[in-house]
Amino acid sequence: MTEQQSIQSAGLLLPLAGGEAKTATSFCLIVDDEKGIRNLIARSLRNHLVMTEGCGDASSALDALKLRTPDLIFLDISLERSDAIEVIRGLGEMKFDGAVQLMSGRDLRSLEEIKRVGEKHKLRMLPVLRKPFRGDLIPGILRDAGIAPKEPRSADAAIGLFEALCAGWVDLCYQPKIELRSGKIAGAEGLVRIVHPTRGVLPPGSVLTGADEASLVALAECALQRAMIDWPAFAQAGNRLLRLSVNVPMIALQKLSIAAIVREHRPQDRFWPGLVLEVSEDQILSDLPLAHEIAAQLRLYNIELAVDRSGKGCAGLVALGELPFVELKISSGLVSGCAVDPNQALLCKAVIDLAHQFGRIAVAEGVDKPDDLVALTKMGCDLGQGSVLSKALSMEKLAAVIAARSKNARGF
């Protein structure tokens, strides 16, 4: 993940534009046509656990404001192909109630004139800021904006999801979904990986445990963006049909504008097969009419749902029959030991048959034993994922595997 992508990915969990209630999560939009300045301010803000997003011109800034509402905007008065007045007019029209921090290397008089323009548009304008400025001014700016700056944690403190998102430590690795009869790679699930600069890869459980709802929604958006950014690497390696999936909580489907995220970040390739969003069975069954509505809408954008961790209640599975989903994923708790436990084998076979009756794909997750793999293949399970098939791989390693398989298939 590049530094700029890290900055953008860190600024995802916010109150959405259009009336969502604000949470304790603070978000700043940085509008400056100099990438180095954007990155410098973003690093300073992330040190105080403030999420950020950077834009280089007025048009992209106004587009970003349609997706989420920042608490504070750092706005350079001179932008490439545009200027701060255009942004200020847009902020006035949307009745922006956050704070605006004007900045520039130009003369103080110009800054003060544009500040007055902002005030005429009834915006909350902070004292102007001349560039270059020191990073130690950031806490004061945050306080002026009504944001309490947070001090970085000590080196041995526990890392939370909010902090990992702010710092841009979130990435995806990919576990292939393998066709059990042919051995081909049919898809891959993006799994969250937290990479700390000094501690290395952190166990996801240690970071996700106790995470607030807002941070989980941000993580889902980060994963969606990352999967769309990574897909072209797999296409270039030789598999344009590879469909990626990410795990998404139901609350994220309700609060995120998935359609807008896809329009903004989808690969510009006519062969892009879309995404699969995996939602746990219990969350779907808790509000089946809402799940049906969301699934129907997402299909318009080539986004399908998969029912994750299925098999805990067959009566509930039958209720899923009318839901437009593409995969039924068998819980790893049922898969493990299905070769030797007759009851687990019966339940696995029931889920597989039910998926096929619905015209869906049956996917076994957590396939970690060779005997279970053989048993599932005999049951007619379509796809499997687990350590006996492939461990989770970085984007680069999975692309290399795809390239090697593609080369062998062509007989080189």
CATH number (domain holding residue 52)? 3.40.50.2300
Q: Is residue 138 part of a domain?
A: yes
Ramachandran bin of 50, using left for φ above 0, alpha for ψ from -120 to 50, beta for the remaining angles: beta
pLDDT digits (tens, 9 = 90+) for 154-175: 555 677 887 788 777 888 999 9
Q: What does the pLDDT read at residue 56? A: 87
Q: Is residue 156 part of a domain?
A: no
Q: What does the pLDDT read at residue 316? A: 60
Q: Which residues of 7-32 are buried (b: 16+ CB within 10 A; e: fewer)?
A: bbbbbbbbbebeeeeebebbbbbbbb
| pTM: predicted TM-score of the whole model, two decimal places | 0.69
- By the 8 A CB rule, do 129 and 106 touch? no
Spatial neighbors of 256 by CB under 8 A, at least 6 apart, are 16, 217, 220, 221, 224
Do 256 and 402 lie in one domain? The reply is yes
Mean pLDDT for the stretch of residues 108-123: 92
Do 100 and 172 lie in one domain? The reply is no
Q: Which is higher by pLDDT, 108 or 115?
A: 115
Q: Is residue 153 part of a domain?
A: no
pLDDT digits (tens, 9 = 90+) for 286-299: 888 888 888 988 99
**Count of structural domains, the chain:** 2
Residue 382 C-beta-side C-alpha neighbours within 13 Å: 18
Q: What does the pLDDT read at residue 7? A: 32
Q: Where residue 312 falls among pLDDT bands split at 50, 70, 90? A: low
Does residue 4 register a pLDDT over 60? no
Residue 79, both tokens: 């932008």
Smallest CA-to-CA distance from 195 within 224, 231, 170, 177 is with 170
Do 121 and 244 lie in one domain? The reply is no
As a three-state string, the secondary structure of the chain is CCHHHHHHHHCCCCCCCCCCCCCCCCEEEEECCCHHHHHHHHHHHHCCCCEEEEECCHHHHHHHHHHCCCCEEEEECEECCEEHHHHHHHHHHCCCCCEEEEEECCCHHHHHHHHHHHHHCCCEECCCEECCCCHHHHHHHHHHCCCCCCCCCCCCCCCCHHHHHHHCCEEEEEEEEEECCCCCEEEEEEEEEEEECCCEEECHHHHHCCCCHHHHHHHHHHHHHHHHHHHHHHHHHCCCCCEEEEECCHHHHHHCCHHHHHHHHCCCCCCCCCEEEEEEHHHHHHCHHHHHHHHHHHHCCCEEEEEEEECCCHHHHHHHHHCCEEEEEECHHHHCCCCCCHHHHHHHHHHHHHHHHCCCEEEEECCCCHHHHHHHHHHCCCEEECCCCCCCECHHHHHHHHHHHHHHHCCC
Q: Which of 32-46, 233-247, 303-317, 328-342 has the lowest mean pLDDT?
A: 303-317
Q: Is residue 107 part of a domain?
A: yes
- C-alpha–C-alpha distance, residues 52 and 69, integer Å: 11
Do 76 and 188 lie in one domain? The reply is no
Which residue, of 144, 173, 196, is where some domain finishes? Answer: 144
Place of tokens 């106790």: 210
pLDDT digits (tens, 9 = 90+) for 358-409: 899 999 999 999 999 999 999 999 999 999 999 999 999 999 999 999 887 6
pLDDT digits (tens, 9 = 90+) for 116-148: 999 999 999 999 998 877 777 889 999 999 988
Provide the domain limits for residue 84. Answer: 3-144
Angle at which helices 342-357 and 370-379 cross, to 10°: 40
Q: What does the pLDDT read at residue 80? A: 66
Do 140 and 195 lie in one domain? The reply is no
Q: What does the pLDDT read at residue 311? A: 62
Do 235 and 355 lie in one domain? The reply is yes
| Mean pLDDT for the chain overall | 85
Does residue 21 register a pLDDT over 70? no
Q: What does the pLDDT read at residue 25? A: 64
Does residue 57 register a pLDDT over 60? yes
Do 257 and 395 lie in one domain? The reply is yes
Do 207 and 96 lie in one domain? The reply is no
Mean pLDDT for the stretch of residues 321-348: 91
Q: Is residue 399 part of a domain?
A: yes
Do 112 and 215 lie in one domain? The reply is no
Q: Is residue 154 part of a domain?
A: no
Which residue, of 144, 176, 195, is where some domain finishes? Answer: 144
Tell me, what CATH number does 299's domain have?
3.20.20.450
Mean pLDDT for the stretch of residues 210-239: 90
Do 197 and 121 lie in one domain? The reply is no
Place of tokens 């952190």: 202
Q: Is residue 88 part of a domain?
A: yes
Do 138 and 174 lie in one domain? The reply is no
Q: Where residue 248 falls among pLDDT bands split at 50, 70, 90? A: very high
Q: Is residue 150 part of a domain?
A: no
Q: What does the pLDDT read at residue 103? A: 92
Q: Which is higher by pLDDT, 28 or 11?
A: 28
Do 134 and 170 lie in one domain? The reply is no
Does residue 22 register a pLDDT over 70? no
- Pairing type for strands 78-79 and 99-104 reads unpaired
Q: Where residue 11 falls among pLDDT bands split at 50, 70, 90? A: very low
